[in-house]
Amino acid sequence: MDAHFTLDMTAKLALIVSAGIGAQWLGWRLQWPAIVLMSVAGLILGPIWALVFGDPLIAPARDFGPLLRPAIALAVAVILFEGGLGLNFAEVRATSGAVIRLVLVGAPLGWLLGTGAVHYTMGLSWDLAALLGGILVVTGPTVIIPLLRQARLSVRPASVLKWEGIINDPLGAVFAVLIFEFITLGSALGTHEGGFGTAILMLVLAVIAGVVVGVAAGYALAASFRRGWVPEYLKAPLMLITVMGVYVLAELIAHETGLVAVTALGVTLANVRFAAIEELRRFKEGIATLLVSALFVILTAGLSQQDLMAFDWRMVGFVAAMVFVVRPLVVWISTIGTDLNWREKALVGWIAPRGIVAVAVAGYFAAELVARGRPDAAILTPLIFAIVFATVLAHGFTIAPLARWLGLSHAGPQGLLLVGANPWSIALAKTLKEVGIPVILADQSWQNLRPARLNGIKVFHGEVLSENAEEKLDHTQIDWLLCASSNEAYNALVCVEFAPELGRHKVFQFSVHDDDESSDHQITFTARGRTAMARGLTYDTLIRDYWQGWRFSAITLDEENTLETVLAKLPEGAVLVAERAANGAMALLGPSRTPKGGEGAVLIVFAPRGFNANNQPGPSDS
């Protein structure tokens, strides 16, 4: 079948980005691994389109020509920098011994065993096997973290998997860069006497040069930010330009050291204290997401039909060896003597999805080595896609049921983090607990939390914005946030901090004023959470109503008590606070979020004492 359907370069660029971002959104919407959907999008635009119509719609090598390799190199540099930006040594030291062992023992052991698996199953030369073995150390935090949220794992295995992924993300890339540099230097010097020793020496010098450039640039950039030499609106663009400049400078000093330099730059900035780091990290995450989306589509669209035909039984054996032999051995050996029990070791030993960094780095190295006269390196791209597809699909669809079977997940309805302990919030937490909605009540005052503790409510004593909360607060049980403190600005700050994690549509706070919320003198809606319950219900208003006898009611809807019936019977001023659906999913209610109802749903209502709806339990006396 032939079709003369072509696009100009502008349309192709727009299609690549749209396909990548669209796949990311679809993955979020369907709770599927986005990496698989992005790869499928690239396959459709490349080899599958060519199979059906005779010519690929997107052919990266043909469409971009000599610009393709440098564009991929810069994209990989930004991605590796973003990975290094997440590696904070203080946070690593605060993790469990199991994480440290998985990094110090597990990463080198995984590299060694992975190298052997590649060599003996695929027959690759030892240098290419070591290159791919280093890349496979990366366990993909961009894939792991969404899986942890989806599976709702208990704290300890979730923490181990999360921090292993974050730390090994740049570490595996560095392993691969070292081998890649050794291969290129060895190829250039191997014909000379003493070529091997000279290659090792040059490799060490190149790595040192890359690290020095990255660390120096990191300290210089942080110092310029701290001293006010750069305005706020230019900090993020300057950081992006610095990444590209460091990559190019390191390449000029010593060829192929650019990736080492940008990784060192990211790690340096992550460990040098300056106030704007969190805002810059979010900006970089956005840029990295855009680049990753486009890069995945380009790499998969660039696969030929011959590449797809390379998937054979040897590749199946390679994937099986990595999943069923290498990963379990690495986890069980490296965690000997740690506090992990056998169930946690079994789960961690099964879950190791490879992700975006692995594909990006492997695709870049494969193209570079083929261009340098190593045609056998072309197999690296199909191999990495095979392991990524296999691990993401297998682990993505089995982590939740396996965790439940091992008793390592939080089964049950969605939970709420309630910030600010006061009589109103404690009464709400007690009512939610009675209807089976998990609640964590957080406050800095142990005395304020005392009534909640006496009522069996789970509490968190401390500042929810602190680094301590990152480790001690069980985020797997938090799906919604309601800030109920007396400080409006603090409520807004907490909502803004949690919005990227939970989603802006799931962070709520009390109304800022008891009149029109469009006042020019209040916190703008872009710098606060959504309004809970109704406009005009401030902290003072709700506390006053509570002391005047208003209480919470839990009303179960059925055939007689329909949503319309209950709403019609609500007394004047009664407030709808939350809804728990029949399937256990909860939702906070507000001006832009009304209850959906349905048989079996439960409405949480704040109403004057004595309110009752068709023999429903009266308001709590809490």
Strand-strand pairing, 602-607 and 575-580:
antiparallel
Domain that holds residue 501: 416-607
SS3 state of residue 607: strand
- Is there a single domain that holds both residue 430 and residue 383? no
- Is there a single domain that holds both residue 391 and residue 433? no
**Is the distance from CB of 89 to CB of 169 less than 8 angstroms?**
no
Span 593-603, pLDDT tens digits: 778 877 788 88
- Is there a single domain that holds both residue 391 and residue 522? no
Which two structure tokens, joined as six digits, stand for 71?
Answer: 């564009």
Lowest pLDDT segment from 313-322, 446-455, 569-578: 569-578
Is the pLDDT confidence value at 614 over 60? no
Compute the mean pLDDT over every residue in the chain, rounded to the nearest whole number.
Answer: 79
- Is there a single domain that holds both residue 380 and residue 424? no
- 306/494: higher pLDDT: 494
SS3 state of residue 556: strand
Span 163-204, pLDDT tens digits: 787 777 767 767 777 777 777 766 555 544 445 566 567 767
- The alpha carbon of 270 is separated from its chain's Cα centroid by a whole number of angstroms, namely 17
- Is there a single domain that holds both residue 282 and residue 375? yes
Residue 542, domain CATH: 3.40.50.720
pLDDT value, residue 277 = 66
Alpha helices in 322-379 (DSSP H): 327-334, 342-350, 356-371
The answer to whether residue 619 is domain-embedded is no
Query: Which residue shows structure tokens 């120096």?
Result: 216
- Is there a single domain that holds both residue 429 and residue 523? yes
pLDDT value, residue 618 = 46
Question: Mean pLDDT, to the nearest integer, of 301-317?
Answer: 79
- Is there a single domain that holds both residue 320 and residue 439? no
pLDDT value, residue 324 = 93
| Residue 389 backbone dihedrals phi, psi, to 5 degrees | -60, -45
Final residue belonging to a domain, choices 337, 371, 406: 406
Query: Which residue shows structure tokens 């797997």?
Result: 476
- Which residue, among 303, 266, 350, has the nearest Cα to 85 in the 3D structure? 266
- Is there a single domain that holds both residue 349 and residue 476? no
Q: Kindly give the interhelix angle for 327-334 and 342-350, rounded to the nearest 10 degrees.
A: 140
Which two structure tokens, joined as six digits, stand for 115?
Answer: 């190298």
- Where is mean pLDDT largest: 203-212, 270-279, 460-469, 611-620? 203-212
pLDDT > 70 in the chain, percent? 83
- Is there a single domain that holds both residue 334 and residue 438? no
- Is there a single domain that holds both residue 400 and residue 442? no
The answer to whether residue 411 is domain-embedded is no
Confidence of residue 246 (pLDDT cuts 50, 70, 90): very high
Residue 175, domain CATH: 1.20.1530.20
- Alpha-carbon span 280 to 266, nearest angstrom: 11
Those residues with Cβ within 8 angstroms of residue 17's Cβ, 6 or more apart along the chain or in another chain? 290, 293, 294
Span 393-431, pLDDT tens digits: 888 788 888 888 888 876 666 788 888 888 888 888 898
- Alpha-carbon span 309 to 299, nearest angstrom: 16
Lowest pLDDT segment from 176-190, 366-380, 496-510: 176-190
**Is the distance from CB of 265 to CB of 247 less than 8 angstroms?**
no
- 173/19: higher pLDDT: 19
Span 554-612, pLDDT tens digits: 888 877 778 788 787 787 778 888 888 877 778 888 777 778 877 788 888 888 876 66
pLDDT value, residue 520 = 53
Give the DSSP H or E segment for 77.
helix 68-84
DSSP of 426-453? HHHHHHHHHTT--EEEEES-HHHHHHHH
- The alpha carbon of 24 is separated from its chain's Cα centroid by a whole number of angstroms, namely 12
pLDDT value, residue 149 = 67
pLDDT value, residue 326 = 92
- Is there a single domain that holds both residue 421 and residue 400? no
Total structural domains within the chain: 2
Span 263-283, pLDDT tens digits: 888 888 888 876 666 666 666
